[in-house]
Amino acid sequence: MRPASFEYHRATSLDHALELLHEFGEEGRPIAGGQSLVPMMNFRLARPGHLVDINRLPLGGIEIDGQVLRIGALTRHEAYFNDPLIARHFPAFLDAVHYIGHPTIRRNGSIGGSISHADPTAELPAVAVLHDADIVVRSVQGTRKIKAVEFFLSAYVTAIEPGEMVVALEFPLPPSASTGSFIEQSERSGDFGTASIGITLQFAGGKIGKAAMVCSGADLFPIRAPEIEEFLVGKALADPGAAEAGRIFAASIDPVDDHIASADYRRGLIAELTRRAIEAACTRALDKS
């Protein structure tokens, strides 16, 4: 359980990091907190020939930039908890981060790392998919923005190309009459979830306007639930049909059956978490109305 040989490089600037990643191609990986990459290397499941340490780059910070909330790739998980912008605009995000790991992981782990690692049931990929975030990646060729729903391709597989690295996430700011919620269940607190559901709602006149829903645990990456998003439109906040939504959604998925949980259980759990997440979001919407 020791990593294979690799060379370590400390990047002194973003351009330096991108040059190194360009030079190493498939063999190069940026490293920040190492909370996911280092265990993978110790198991020799990841064998990068070159690690580019980006910890000293100015890539942290949570700020509003025009119509988006921009979160730098090196922002550590513990920073979300007391951030007023996240609390104000993204209640589902704030719910979700409470399920992330333990204090050590929160102190070291970064949003860029979590997104790039793409564990199927990690919280931040689900949050990005829920909020239609753009994943901002850069390489020596320049910058491109990838929609979160197009970013996660499979378990631990993303749309990042060799030579690229995530530099930020951009979350479109929602209208003020909106809210959300996120619920996860895991076997132990701090574990990756068995399943999780995130909801965002826009509302007016006691009714749901637009809705978004994300689910982890139903597939190899977080998926949206367009059927439920449509189902919720026009529903009364006081009676959104949450249980029915849970049943409909659970019937539409085909979760894995493995030693951690049976497919039946995952389906049942997802139905129930869907109900609870919708009800929680509606309760918040009513409080805010």
Residues at the interface with other proteins (CB under 8 A):
1-5, 43-44, 185, 187-192, 194, 259-262, 265, 268-269, 272-273
Name which of 19 and 27 has its Cβ closer to other proteins: 27
What CA dihedral angle connects 56, 61, 98 and 114, to 10 degrees? -50
Name which of 44 and 56 has its Cβ closer to other proteins: 44
Cβ 2 to other proteins, closest distance in Å?
Answer: 5
Cβ 237 to other proteins, closest distance in Å?
Answer: 22
Please give the Cα distance from 213 to 228 (Å, whole number). 7
Cβ 190 to other proteins, closest distance in Å?
Answer: 7
Name which of 13 and 43 has its Cβ closer to other proteins: 43
Name which of 187 and 230 has its Cβ closer to other proteins: 187
Cβ 15 to other proteins, closest distance in Å?
Answer: 32
User: Left, alpha or beta for 151 (phi > 0: left; psi -120 to 50: alpha)?
Assistant: alpha
Name which of 84 and 188 has its Cβ closer to other proteins: 188
DSSP state of 264: H
Look at residues 226, 204, 215, 203 and name the one whose alpha carbon lies nearest to residue 281: 203
Name which of 71 and 273 has its Cβ closer to other proteins: 273
Cβ 4 to other proteins, closest distance in Å?
Answer: 7
Name which of 48 and 72 has its Cβ closer to other proteins: 48
Burial class (CB in 10 A: 0-12, 13-18, 19+), 121: buried
Q: Answer yes or no: are the C-beta atoms of 168 and 65 closer than 8 Å.
A: no
Please give the Cα distance from 196 to 273 (Å, whole number). 7
Burial class (CB in 10 A: 0-12, 13-18, 19+), 104: exposed
The identity of residue 41, as a single letter, is M
Give how far the C-alpha of residue 285 lies from the chain's centroid of Cα atoms, to the nearest Å.
23
Cβ 242 to other proteins, closest distance in Å?
Answer: 12
Cβ 265 to other proteins, closest distance in Å?
Answer: 5
User: Which residue has tokens 């990042």?
Assistant: 160
Angle at CA 37, nearest 5°, toward 24 and 166? 60
Please give the Cα distance from 130 to 149 (Å, whole number). 9
User: Left, alpha or beta for 106 (phi > 0: left; psi -120 to 50: alpha)?
Assistant: alpha
Name which of 99 and 171 has its Cβ closer to other proteins: 99
Cβ 191 to other proteins, closest distance in Å?
Answer: 8
Pairing between β-strand 7-10 and β-strand 50-53 as defined by DSSP bridges: parallel
